[in-house]
Structure 1
Amino acid sequence: MQNADQQAYDRGTTIFSPDGRLYQVEYAREAVKQGSPVVGVRGEDSVVLASHVPRRSPLVNPGSVEKLFAVDDHVAIGSAGHAADTRRLVDLARRSAQDEHVRYGEAASVDALTTSVADHLQEYTQTGGARPYGTALLVGGYDDGPQLFEIDPSGATREWRADAVGHGAGDAIERFEDEYAPPLTERDALSLALLGLDTAVEDLSVDDVEVATVTADGYEVVADDRLEAAFDAETE
């Protein structure tokens, strides 16, 4: 049961507790931990995003459940947490990308797009009457080279070589720390991403996996036959 001090400070996003905590942001992070995981691995010439998309019912159309999103030709987002919150942030990222094309006639950098989304999340940690977004994002893209960023519900960003968000993310990151050994080809990055996802999810099935890559040639969803071959190799 919450103590009296916590109850006094967890009702608003704009109030710090005496020990410097924003409880609503921490609750948003807990919501992310309940979501099915997404992992990202940065290789020498690519970024691989892999997501677990559980089939909650055989009546659900698999194509209607999305966790990986193309933002621009060279940027993609993977998410864990509340799907509706993710949709709002993906729309924001896509508008930011299009604004850059319209205003300057060129693609926005991965760093700039990440920052624009993160700034929006940060506003919701200091705005009365609003709650933080209950989702965390992995932003993978290719500028002069591959890049992989994480955006936390607080609006904080970090750049990673390999990362995971959602349920089991800690286990996946530990696996990455043990297994990540550059340089990684696109095939190596795909194999490592599936290994991390298999670590995060018990009894992972290839039917519940969605994978996309971003390279100098752009965003691409990994074809089923290639995914099945890579999945079988990593889960034997």
Structure 2
Amino acid sequence: MQGTDQQAYDRGTTIFSPDGRLYQVEYAREAVGQGAPVVGVRGADSVVLAAHAPDRSPLSADGDTEKVSSVDDHVAVAGAGHAADTRQLVDLARRRAQQERVRYGERVPVAELGTAVADHLQEYTQTGGARPYGTALLVAGHDGDPALVEIDPSGATRSWRADAVGSGAGDAIETFEDGYGPALGDRDAIALALDGLDAAVEDLNVADVDATLVTDEGTERVGEDRLRSAHGSAS
């Protein structure tokens, strides 16, 4: 009987277990933990997102492994977990940003955009016949001040100075705790983000990093030469 009860809680996306757990949400977090790591670092005037995006094959086309996506000219998003789930949430964020511009002629506030995406994620923890999204997002933006928000598969959000999701996230966060300072310039923020990825990934190759810098002037993809310069002699 105990095994049967366990399976019931296991399969029901909307059923709490007796100890108050939603197993499908926990499984979604496990999927996030299996994904390639993504890190974010908030500097004094900018935010950098960096993701490990190695080519699966030498036959893959250039640009096929892009993991950091621009949502608007002041917001970028990256996710760890199921790539298709991340893509759907990026599209949702882009639509929300476009609606703000069409209705009000203004850029959507970063916190408001994060809440809109988080609300959508939360709906899938209490909707029958659907599963939670198997991805966690880092949202980096600048709307007067730099902002970095994590969105969990449960729909929970939290703002961070530096954060990581995906495999090796704990090691990256330890690196950030040791090296973070509130007055980081752009180059130092990029360097710290790469240090975090280096801690999360064995034998990190800068050529396998997809990074975007978000400032008040917009989003800018960080080229490989700039990454190598910030990361020193590491490759």
TM-score normalized with structure 1 length: 0.96
Aligned AA (2:103): R
Give the structure 1 partner of residue 110 of structure 2: 110
Aligned AA (1:219): T
Would the aligned equivalents of 2:80 and 2:135 in 1 still touch at CA under 8 Å? yes
Report the Cα offset of residue 187 of structure 1: 1.0
Give the structure 1 partner of residue 143 of structure 2: 143
Pairs within 5 Å for 1:90-169: 90-169=90-169
- Does the residue aligned with 2:59 lie in a helix, a strand or coil? coil
Would the aligned equivalents of 2:207 and 2:224 in 1 still touch at CA under 8 Å? no
Question: After the TM superposition, which of the residue ranges 60-69 and 99-108 deviates more from structure 2?
Answer: 60-69
- Does the residue aligned with 1:28 lie in a helix, a strand or coil? helix
Report the Cα offset of residue 61 of structure 1: 1.3
Aligned AA (1:159): S
Give the structure 1 partner of residue 184 of structure 2: 184
- Does the residue aligned with 1:71 lie in a helix, a strand or coil? strand
Identical pairs, percent: 71
- Does the residue aligned with 2:182 lie in a helix, a strand or coil? coil
Give the structure 2 partner of residue 221 of structure 1: 221
- Does the residue aligned with 1:147 lie in a helix, a strand or coil? strand
Q: Distance in 2 between matches of 1:223 and 1:57?
A: 21
- The root-mean-square deviation of aligned C-alpha atoms, in Å, is 1.3
Q: Distance in 1 between matches of 2:231 and 2:61?
A: 22
Q: Distance in 1 between matches of 2:4 and 2:62?
A: 45
Instruction: Answer yes or no: is 1:23 the counterpart of 2:23.
Output: yes
Aligned AA (1:74): H
Report the Cα offset of residue 4 of structure 1: 4.5
Give the structure 2 partner of residue 58 of structure 1: 58
TM-score normalized with structure 2 length: 0.96
Aligned AA (1:224): E
Note the alpha carbon deviations across 1:69-101, whole angstroms, 9 max, x for none.
000000000111111101100000000000000
Would the aligned equivalents of 2:39 and 2:193 in 1 still touch at CA under 8 Å? yes
Report the Cα offset of residue 224 of structure 1: 2.2
Report the Cα offset of residue 3 of structure 1: 4.7
Q: Distance in 2 between matches of 1:181 and 1:42?
A: 9
Note the alpha carbon deviations across 1:172-198, whole angstroms, 9 max, x for none.
011111111221111111110000000
Q: Distance in 2 between matches of 1:227 and 1:62?
A: 18
Question: How many residue pairs get matched?
Answer: 234
- Does the residue aligned with 2:137 lie in a helix, a strand or coil? strand
Q: Distance in 2 between matches of 1:201 and 1:195?
A: 10
Query: Which runs of 5 or more structure 1 residues have no equivalent in the other structure?
Result: none
- Does the residue aligned with 2:136 lie in a helix, a strand or coil? strand
Report the Cα offset of residue 12 of structure 1: 1.3
Give the structure 2 partner of residue 7 of structure 1: 7
Give the structure 2 partner of residue 44 of structure 1: 44
Q: Distance in 1 between matches of 2:223 and 2:172?
A: 23
> Where do 4+ consecutive residues of structure 1 move more than 6 Å?
none
Query: Which runs of 5 or more structure 2 residues have no equivalent in the other structure?
Result: none
Note the alpha carbon deviations across 1:89-115, whole angstroms, 9 max, x for none.
000000000000001111110001000
